[in-house]
Amino acid sequence: MVKPSYLYIVVVLLISSCNVDQLDVEGLKLSENTGLYAFPIGETTYQLMELLEGADSTLAIDTDENGMISFSFEESDTIELASESTEQGIDLGFFVRQSVDFPTSSFSIPLFETFESGSFLLENPNLNFTITNELRMPLAIGLEIYGTKTDDNGDTLRKLEIYDSFFDLNDSLKSILNPSLTDTAAALTFIIIDKTSSDFDQFLGWTPENIYMDMSMVANPDLPVDSILVFLPPDTIPDREFNEDAQIFTNMSLELPMSLHLDNLAVPVNLDSITVDVDVATIDSLQLRVVTYNMLPFGALLNLQFLDSNSEVLYSLEEDFHVLANPTLNSITFNIKEPEININQVWLTGEGIDALNDTQTIKIIMTLNTTDGAPTIYTPLLEEYTLEVKISGKVRLSYEL
């Protein structure tokens, strides 16, 4: 008995720079109506830094000496109290409790917009305020931070919870230093909001698309509402006065070192340049081959969706492709390792074969995890981290020869 002979041709296609001639099966001697050949579909390389290209121009993206990525944001403002209070109908020379509002600050972090589901925690997010005060009377700062994101129901809003212990006064006010009548040098106050004084890490893990900060200044916060302080010398020595030339200088900086804990974080990557050079009418069966070269320090699964020109899903593979098991605690370092190669193969159904013929984009959904069965630990993100995915097909043709 003569065994059937099979011809295997494997072609690696680099979408960005290489051209491959069409596979010519004419004249191939394939026995018993059975022929196998492989053809490239496409490939993509997921690079962490590509997610950050659309960053808000006010955000800076830096790397430290270990190559770890950090976001930073800084904004400074000067409040001229005399003119600002006049515009808002306030007389700070009148010693009563009253507020002056500062302009709202806002920024966006594009990395947050790329996640489809799951969650993450930042190890050490910090929001820092430096306030320089020239006003010679007691002052406090009211602070409200909130984020918005769009979902199926429209815009939703989430406020940052700042713990009660952070505030000096019962009504959510933080006292700041002020000059005295005898020592009129400007007073400096530092305020830090992090995950010990708020739920800042949880707030950012909610992935707000836009973050807003409203700050107000409250003069004479020690006075009861509507209570007027009147000085009647010589019986009472004034402990405060309104300096008409006084200003408040504010500097706000956001520091987000990208050291993360990931929990089933779903990140989509599109493979747009694909080639499906097969007539599905001639296909008896098709095996999809997914090869990954993983340099990410995470456990990862891949799921594939076939999309048409309108980005509608034609077909979705139910099977997740294992790229890398979740790393152990000891394996998480700042070192870039050699890529781990994984090969996954799955036979497409008839529905999948038909969908592939009309597919314009293959959407790869990566589900990333830090570790299994461990306390919350954090992994630094380095700009060199990549995941390369190559997709090819192996078909059995039903030609009569």
Residue position matching structure tokens 């700009």: 383
State the fold for domain 35-50+261-397: Jelly Rolls (2.60.120)
Q: Which residues contact 76 (CB under 8 A, 6 or more apart)?
A: 249, 250, 251, 252
In the chain, residues under CATH classification 2.60.120 are 35-50+261-397, 69-257
DSSP 200-256: HHHHHHT--SEEEEEEEEEESTTSPTT-B----TTTS-------TT-EEEEEEEEEE
Residue with tokens 């000067």: 78
Residue 124: strand, helix, or coil: coil
What pLDDT is recorded for position 166?
92
pLDDT at 236: 73
What's the CATH number for 69-257? 2.60.120
pLDDT at 191: 94
The pLDDT of residue 2: 31
Q: Which helix (H) or strand (E) holds 82?
A: helix 81-87
Angstrom distances, CA of residue 313 to CA of 149, 158, 307: 24, 31, 5
Report pLDDT digits (tens) over 10-26.
Answer: 222 222 223 333 333 33
Q: Residue 324 corresponds to which amino acid?
A: L
For residue 138, what pLDDT is reported? 93
Residues of the chain with pLDDT under 50: 1-34, 400-401
Backbone torsions φ then ψ of 37, nearest 5 degrees: -155, 155
What's the pLDDT tens digit per position in 112-169?
Answer: 666 777 778 889 999 999 999 999 999 999 999 999 887 667 678 899 999 989 999 8
pLDDT for 329 equals 57
